[in-house]
Homo-oligomer: A and B are copies of this chain.
């Protein structure tokens, strides 16, 4: 396969390269593209240094898969060009996520959508992917009527420079100096705040709106009742989510555990005696979404609701891994 990675020096771009290498994706040619700032630099892949070129209209000639993670402005312009050149554009930006012509794909959940693509496939928002991975097996076991989710989102979700800011600011604060935010709007060292996206007229920020809309699309439940509160926490990597569910009927704790234990891409971490549950430190760098703290919600009639807690690496399953899995799904379908 001839592969292009657009946004190769970004946090997700770097992760695309790692995941492609780790999964031994069958690459015969690899082209890397970046912004003017990154062009001329190089990135390492399988022990080789590969130059990063400036993106151009003819970049995708002969390419099979083009992985995009360079923001929605780049995607809006270049994904259609990639598709026109015969490549499948797998886009990690929000550019086409709500486009009914473009599949919004999580292979474990709506793989059937992937084959219907017309050259572009969207990777959903990271928080939405992790949420869907945790609740889809439960939804299949017993229909979910309502979701209330509060998030604990890692800083690398805001990009590589935000991650550096967390590190540098933490060092400053430990040295007794004030935190001086530059990338994120508020101090992030030893602090947390409402997600750094604009607030809409309904009071939800853009991240929350994505979680709500994309979860509905991924699960093909356009009317699913869902509310989200998205919070940025001083964690380098892996998002966590506190999830409260209401079922149309009911679902027991044990049935929920059973459904999650056999769900692909999910790892049950639910040790009440050892007080061991999903943590971002354990989810970081891994492929699985960790799910635990499963318990019957005491605020609802017995069995009608569940509480749970999930962690997933938002750069892997929340972005690059999910993108590569989409390509793998397509390759398998072609065979």
Tell me whether B300 and A225 are in contact (CB under 8 A). yes
**Identity of the chain B residue whose Cβ is nearest the Cβ of A205 in the assembled complex:** B275
Copies assembled: 2
CB contacts (< 8 Å) of A146 on chain B: these are: 299-300
CB contacts (< 8 Å) of A192 on chain B: these are: 152, 233, 235, 240, 279-280
**Identity of the chain B residue whose Cβ is nearest the Cβ of A227 in the assembled complex:** B299
- A242 touching B225 in the complex, CB below 8 Å, given contacts A191-B280, A272-B199, A281-B190: no
Tell me whether A193 and B277 are in contact (CB under 8 A). yes
Q: How far is the CB of A331 from chain B (nearest CB, A)?
A: 36
Does A231 have its Cβ within 8 Å of any Cβ on chain B?
Answer: yes
A203 contact from B204, B279, B296, Cβ within 8 A: B296
Tell me whether B171 and A225 are in contact (CB under 8 A). no
CB contacts (< 8 Å) of A293 on chain B: these are: 194, 203, 229
CA–CA, A187 and B281, complex, Å: 8
CB contacts (< 8 Å) of A174 on chain B: these are: 167, 170-171, 174
Interface residues of A in 164-180 (CB under 8 A from B): 167, 170-171, 174, 179
**Identity of the chain B residue whose Cβ is nearest the Cβ of A201 in the assembled complex:** B272
> Which bracket fits the contact residues of A?
35 or more
Tell me whether B236 and A275 are in contact (CB under 8 A). no
CB contacts (< 8 Å) of A233 on chain B: these are: 152, 192, 233-234
Residue of A192, A193, A199, A295 ringed by the most chain B CB atoms within 10 A: A192
22 contacts between A and B (CB under 8 A): A146-B299, A148-B299, A150-B229, A150-B242, A152-B152, A152-B233, A186-B276, A187-B281, A190-B235, A192-B279, A192-B280, A194-B277, A194-B293, A199-B275, A203-B272, A203-B295, A204-B298, A212-B298, A227-B298, A227-B305, A231-B240, A234-B234
